[in-house]
A and B are shown apart, each in its own frame.
Chain A
Amino acid sequence: MEFTDAIVVGSGAGGGCCAKVLAAAGIRVVMFERGEWNRTDPLGEDDLAGQRSPCVVLGPGPHGRRTRKEHFHDNGDDGVVRPNNAACVGSGTVTYGAMGWRFLPDDFRLKSKYGELEGSTMDDWPFTYDDLEPFYEQAEWEVGVAGSDEGNPFCGPRKKNYPMPPFPYTPESKIMDAAFRKQGLHPFPTPLLRNSIPFNGRPACIHNRFCVGYQCPIDAKNGTQNTVIPAAIATGNLDLRIRCMVVEVMMDDTGKAVGVKYFDENHQLRELRAKVVVLAAAALGTARLLLASKSGRFPNGIGNAHDVVGRNVQTHRYVGARGFWKEELFTEDGPGTNVAICDYSHDNPGFVGGGILHTDFQFTPYIFAGGSVLHGTASWGQEHKNLMRRFYRRQIRIIGPIQDMPTWQRRVVLNDSVRDCWGLPFVRSEGQGHINDVKAGNFLSDRAYEILQKTGAEHIQHQGKNDRPPFGGAGQHQGGTCRMGNDPKTSVTNGWGKVHETENLYLADGSLLVSIGGFNPALTIMALGFRVGAGIVRDWDSMKG
């Protein structure tokens, strides 16, 4: 029987940061990752292989029968499966758009701020923005964010500045910056997990046009795979085992996790025992492991005595507007997203929360060609080609993710009829999102539309407006399946990520999010990873036995 101090399952945003804290504190960690190190190769320039357009190749791994992508059903059907987030060392942090947002203080206290929201399980976090602030700082400095809060009156207080200055604006962002100001709004540079200057031993960004969805060819984009994970390995305490799929958490009768079962890279089923187990397999992956780990004491899966695991799943609907500028705006200068506003993140009329608006990443020709260029025009034929030529280089667009309101019905469950090659059931998502999403989305899209109108842009169109709440879901931004809380009846872990009914089983990924914010969630997940790690280190003396 093999032993170690701590096991971390998953090497993405949360897992990478958590493992680093443990390893640095002298705890011996084995980290399992089902994917492998992603290599930068020519496909990085392939606009049919990015994660925004996964036509020919599906982003970074895992590939093939053994390591096929995590699948989930997003429409209640059994037949339809579609791939999820990345799966490699660093996971989505290798290929993400790398917007590095802190949530706003109000995002941690939605219920206190707005009261009950009927039909939603929306709640306060078990701690405040101030409690997480030091870990945001740690994420910004150890992973690396370029930004500046100076024009943003809405952001929470920070003790330390960003480690790098913000990125310069593209022509599109300059227009939007001026338009926002003219309308009394408060634009500021989008914080980016990218090097605006050489940082951490790696070079400054060279502004590729197409960056989101790809690994950076010069390693100027900061994820866990090129920051905290190498740092953890350098301590000598991290044993990273790639191509290893964890299929079960082993529990004893007292509520103690004793280790995990996993398939190694040779497809051998093995066991590893440890004093503490941390799951960071992303919101869907972690829920899947908890639900699939059934034992005498946990007949419905670990931490699931009150049927909470998998519920409250959240994701992001993207809304905004796009128009076309009088002249060409397109430059070869990526990555594109530069300027943002938080003016509509909270305190809007008639609904809870809201979201940011920001200029978007550059569009590849193929992505731009999808559907019709203008509303009501042909999506193929001569007209479509004419409009491609006329408008590709003139797009101006602001969009943002809407704060998703969790519901009890909307959840992921194990789907016993669809299993991967290890025999582990996939998850299926079911249940409807909240109508608040529709109100918030339409409100924000209308604001984006008006703002664009005043710039003088032409042919403005709403984007993402919808009259129905989202069904099921959880894709690249997935969260909330095992939310934190003080009440074991409505939450899966406590405020330090420890699963309620257990002594030493922790979660450290997007599954913990009580609310997913009106922001891309990676920096918050990293901060949570650091915080969960800090809690384990603090309590280590009592756990090491």
Chain B
Amino acid sequence: MKKNTSLSRRAFGKWVTVVGGGTAAGIGGVHLLDCAGDAAKGQWLALTDNEIRILEAVAEQIIPTDRDPGAKEARVVVYIDRQLAPDAAYAHLAERYREWLAALDSAAKRSGKPFAELSWGEQTSLLREAESGKIPKEVWNVKTPQSFFHTVVNHVKQGFYGTPAHGGNFNYASYRMLGVIVPTCTGRNRVS
């Protein structure tokens, strides 16, 4: 963390009171409620275990782990799965997600392996092909276009860079990476 470490400590304490039963994890010794644990419990709201496996591999490609956590550690799939659940924000996209993930997986299986088991480089190339719609039509035979990838990219960014309150950004992964203090309304910390 770059700056304001002491400030953010204080901030985290307040985040809990503000969000109530909101989110995740222990930070720098301050231990908080763990509610983003859908993943840990393996209870998905919209997707199957297999779909989650593919999505997680895709998400990790979009925001890879390096010296900072990537999409996987930030539990981006928890965010997306929650939003795809019935009545949630992206419920209307759940079917398209399923189709797209399945089609991606069959495209991967041309080389004998499911998407999640391809090498890193193979995964990247396949996603680049999908991004520009270059996977052959015979292989991609579902209604949801390959370019739905752009929507997935957007949602992965939401899950990684957005507030932890909705299931992603576990442990404030991106906020820590960018040195952003929490809670978001920093002014509130300043007056208290």
Residues of A whose CB lies within 8 Å of any CB of B are: 42, 44-48, 53, 55-57, 205-210, 217-218, 330, 332, 334, 364-366, 368-370, 379-382, 384-385, 388-389, 392-393
Contacts and interface: CB of A to CB of B under 8 A. Distances in A.
A380 B186 CA distance: 29
Given A47-B163, A218-B188, A385-B64, A365 B83 contact: no
Given A210-B185, A380-B63, A385-B64, A55 B158 contact: yes
A48 B163 contact: yes
B46 to A, nearest CB: 14
- Which 4 A/B pairs are nearest by Cβ-Cβ distance? A206-B187, A366-B161, A365-B161, A48-B162
Interface string B127-171: 000000000000000000000000001101110111101100000
B62 A42 contact: no
A47 B184 contact: yes
Contacts of B165: 42, 46
A384 B71 CA distance: 13
A206 B163 contact: no
Contact of B124 (A47, A381, A385): A381
Given A47-B162, A208-B186, A217-B185, A393 B89 contact: no
B158 A209 contact: no
Interface stretch (B26-34, B100-108, B175-183): B175-183
Nearest to A368: B161
B178 A370 contact: no
Given A210-B184, A380-B61, 17 more contacts: A42-B20, A45-B185, A46-B166, A46-B184, A47-B162, A56-B89, A57-B89, A206-B191, A208-B184, A208-B188, A209-B184, A217-B185, A330-B179, A364-B184, A381-B61, A381-B124, A382-B64
A46 B64 contact: no
B178 A393 contact: yes
B22 interface: yes
B187 A370 contact: no
Nearest to B182: A45
B68 interface: yes
Interface centre among B61, B70, B160, B186 (most CB of A within 10 A): B186
Nearest to B175: A365
A44 B177 contact: no
A209 B19 contact: no
26 contacts: A45-B18, A46-B162, A46-B165, A48-B158, A55-B89, A55-B158, A56-B89, A57-B89, A206-B188, A207-B186, A207-B187, A207-B190, A208-B184, A332-B4, A334-B187, A365-B178, A366-B158, A366-B161, A366-B162, A369-B157, A369-B160, A380-B61, A380-B62, A380-B153, A389-B68, A393-B179
Contacts of B156: 380
Interface centre among A210, A218, A382 (most CB of B within 10 A): A382
Contacts of B62: 380-381, 384
A56 B22 contact: no
Contact of A332 (B64, B157, B162, B186): B186
Contacts of B163: 45-48
Contacts of A388: 177-178
B161 A332 contact: no
Contacts of B191: 206, 218
Contacts of B4: 332
A362 B20 CA distance: 26
Interface string B102-117: 0000000000000000
A48 B165 CA distance: 9
Given A366-B158, A389-B178, A205 B187 contact: yes
Contacts of B160: 369
Contact of A208 (B153, B174, B175, B185): B185
B185 A44 contact: yes
Contacts of B61: 380-381
A42 B180 contact: no
A369 B175 CA distance: 12
Interface in B40-64: 61-64
Contacts of A370: 154, 157
A179 to B, nearest CB: 25
A47 B160 CA distance: 12
A56 B158 CA distance: 9
A389 B83 CA distance: 27
Contacts of A48: 158, 162-163, 166
Nearest to B83: A56
Interface in B57-109: 61-64, 66, 68, 70, 83, 89
A217 B188 contact: yes
A366 to B, nearest CB: 4
B83 A45 contact: no
A375 B179 CA distance: 24
